[in-house]
C-alpha cells in the first residue's frame, strides 16, 4: 500500500493539495450560506426592532 517508489512525495503532495482545496471550497460555501442566513435574520430583526421603537 502506498508503495509509489521515488514518486511517492509528488503523489502525496498532489492528493494532499487537492484535499485541502476541495475541503476549503466546501467549508467556505457552507460558511457563506450561514452568513447569508444570519444577514437576512439581522435585517428582519432590525426592521422589527425599528417598528417597535415607532
Those residues with Cβ within 8 angstroms of residue 8's Cβ, 6 or more apart along the chain or in another chain: 2
- Helix spans in the chain (H): 8-53
Does position 44 interact with another protein (CB under 8 A)? The reply is yes
- Positive or negative, the CA dihedral 34, 35, 37, 41 is positive
Does position 5 interact with another protein (CB under 8 A)? The reply is yes
Whole-number minimum distance, CB 52 to another protein, in Å?
13
- The residue ranges that bind another protein (CB under 8 A) are 1-2, 4-8, 10-11, 13-15, 17-18, 21-22, 24-26, 28-30, 32-33, 35-37, 39-40, 42-44, 46-47, 50
Amino acid at each position: 500500500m502506498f508503495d509509489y517508489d521515488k514518486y511517492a512525495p509528488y503523489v502525496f503532495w498532489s492528493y494532499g493539495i487537492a484535499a485541502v482545496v476541495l475541503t476549503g471550497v466546501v467549508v467556505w460555501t457552507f460558511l457563506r450560506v450561514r452568513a447569508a442566513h444570519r444577514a437576512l435574520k439581522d435585517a428582519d430583526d432590525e426592521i422589527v426592532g425599528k417598528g417597535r421603537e415607532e
